[in-house]
A and B are shown apart, each in its own frame.
Chain A
Amino acid sequence: MDVKTLIQKSIQYRKRTLKAIKTANAGHTGGDLSCLDILNVLYNHVMNISPDNMQSPDRDRFIQSKGHSVEALYVVLSDKGFFPDSALDTICQYQSDFIGHPTRKIPGVEQNTGALGHGLSVAVGLALAAKMDERAYRVFTLMGDGELTEGSLWEASMSAAHYKLDNLVVIVDRNGLQITGKTEEVMALEPLGQKFEAFGYAVKTVDGNDIPALLNMFSQLPFEPGKPSLILASTVKGKGISFMEHKADWHHHVPTDEEMLIALRELDAALETQVG
């Protein structure tokens, strides 16, 4: 998929995500918007995952460790044809399968997530199985930066390096904010890149909201033979909506009617710039 189409898709995805959150009257707005460009590039350009190949043992695997950014994932999966768009209007509704974190009841979702610090271990298991079976599939997992304080991730990191899982790709949505405020004030993570390197990853940093930069980054996988790849994706929480950007308050805030109008107007203007 070409860059222009991907950029337009990101804007459309943002619109649909906000509408879904508004309908559900719930959702993790800030984190959805920060990781949407990454999900877009992964699903539309990098990973061989589609409704047609979900039974294939050779499909790539995606585990969304930051499960709370589920609205963004649902929007991308819906666009990929895993389920109709109308399903997005059932998010968090009574008896809907579309709950507020990913579950395997939803076509396209590989693993139930939501508790932080779990996705990487599962991804390691999937990547290990690929090595055992000499299969060429890759395993991608998306983590939030707030969840990096979970000790289990560092256990998993040790095993990823120990087993030389160069078929594993870990992406950190480094938006710098978590529900309480700045990650560095809640519990300092830096120097994050050095920590990951010390744990045995081949680490690269990228602007995680820059589609061409992401495409370039993913084209270099694996970064180093015999090492798991880690992408430290610098992102903006609330990306794309002027009054949501860089605001911890938008972690799970639902836009008011007025805020929705402004947000959609901003996205439509961005879309016009792209189309025009």
Chain B
Amino acid sequence: MSAVLSSGKANLEVFADILLETGVQDRDLVVVTSDSRGSGKLTGFGKKLPAQMVEIGIAEQNLVGVAAGLAAAGKKTFAVSPACFLTARSLEQIKNDVAYSDQPVRLVGISAGVSYGALGTTHHSLHDLAVLQAINNITIVVPADNYETREAVRAAYEQNKPVYLRFGKKSMPALPHNPGDFEIGKGRVLREGDDVLFVATGEAVLPAFQAAEELELHGIMSTVISMHTVKPLDTDLLKTYADRCRAVITVEEHSIHGGLGSACASYLLQVGYHKPFHIVAIPDEPTVSGSQGEIFNHYGISAEGLSQLAMNMLVEKEQIA
């Protein structure tokens, strides 16, 4: 494990803290939940600001539709529900009532990716980045650590546009940051090196960062970008570092189809990038059972898996050269 990383809270807890802080100041801030205040760490919000919490019950379609109506009436609305249900059950409401109608709802997908681990596919959201990227007028933000979470929630609150925020439930160590270096739509460079470029998002940034540290011990220098905003993608930053490095690896807690990796590949191919490129994500198969950590390890979303992959890619490149 890295020496530079200090311990932190679950991003979800940080999200809930900021929501409460902001909600006390702004009586127009409203949280809409689908029997999900417990898993969303919002029980405290509901107790302190009951008039600003709307409980919908287990009815995700109505959750998003009601949130759109509240937003249309000027409420600063956060619709909170497990990502697996929010972005599947109510996808049409997201598409039409929020994005197409341009109602500024902040959609918050909690326990995203494989956070629910062994609960199985019903509770995994490995499709959300794919489906939402195909919908016009919605920003997609997946914070990696507590710092990015804090900044992302504040930015989403201030930005009066449809946005999807995606959170896991694991405690996240603090990654390096400089004050003021977070902006929606701009990736963050966590460390620099010219051999390998890791482009990662959300809770998959940590293993990418750890892999970079491990690679350094072998004399391989890596750049790690936390691409917290999956859409709109920071293509300028991506191209700058892809050009500089010898290989690109994308890392995400999502299906290999239609997520961050697909977006990066699509862009880089069209601007003529032709160096080794690999998408590390959950493959298109029945997902192995286990905790989030076990699933990550199984599919190589780990310091060991990623550093090994990077070394293999560089060796292959030398052989071809």
Give A contacts to B, CB under 8 Å. 57, 61, 103-104, 110-115, 117-118, 120-130, 132-133, 151-152, 155-156, 158-159, 162-163
Contacts and interface: CB of A to CB of B under 8 A. Distances in A.
Contacts of B102: 104
A155 B57 CA distance: 9
A202 to B, nearest CB: 20
B101 interface: yes
A126 B54 CA distance: 13
A133 B76 CA distance: 13
B66 A124 contact: yes
Nearest to B72: A126
B73 interface: yes
Contacts of B71: 125
Contacts of A57: 73-74
Contacts of A122: 65-66, 68-69, 72, 97
B162 to A, nearest CB: 12
B73 A159 contact: no
Interface in B88-105: 92-93, 96-97, 100-103
B61 interface: yes
A124 B69 CA distance: 7
A125 B66 contact: yes
Contacts of B57: 158-159, 162
Nearest to A163: B54
Nearest to A111: B101
Contact of B68 (A117, A125, A158): A125
27 contacts: A104-B101, A111-B69, A111-B97, A111-B103, A114-B96, A118-B97, A121-B62, A122-B65, A122-B69, A122-B97, A124-B69, A125-B65, A125-B66, A125-B70, A125-B72, A128-B70, A129-B70, A129-B74, A130-B73, A132-B75, A151-B61, A152-B93, A155-B61, A156-B65, A158-B59, A159-B57, A162-B57
A121 B69 contact: yes
Contacts of B59: 155, 158-159
Given A104-B101, A118-B92, 5 more contacts: A112-B97, A121-B62, A128-B69, A132-B51, A155-B61
Interface size for chain B: under 10, 10 to 19, 20 to 34, or 35 or more residues? 20 to 34
Interface of A is mostly: helix
A238 B8 CA distance: 64
Interface in B160-195: none
A124 B32 CA distance: 13
A99 to B, nearest CB: 11
Contact of A156 (B30, B66, B96, B101): B66
Contacts of A61: 72-73
Given A125-B68, A158-B57, A118 B62 contact: no
A122 B102 CA distance: 13
Contacts of A121: 61-62, 64-66, 68-69, 93, 97
B314 interface: no
B72 A152 contact: no
A210 to B, nearest CB: 30
Contact of B56 (A113, A151, A159): A159
| Nearest 3 CB-CB pairings of A with B | A125-B69, A121-B65, A129-B73
A126 B103 CA distance: 12
With a 10 A CB-CB cut-off, give which of B64, B69, B75 has the most chain A CB atoms: B69
Contacts of B51: 132
B14 interface: no
B132 to A, nearest CB: 17
B110 interface: no
With a 10 A CB-CB cut-off, give which of B66, B67, B100 has the most chain A CB atoms: B66
A123 B62 contact: no
A118 B72 contact: no
A152 B264 CA distance: 36
Given A118-B92, A132-B30, A158-B59, A124 B65 contact: yes
A136 to B, nearest CB: 13
Nearest to A137: B73
Contacts of A124: 62, 65-66, 69
B65 A118 contact: yes
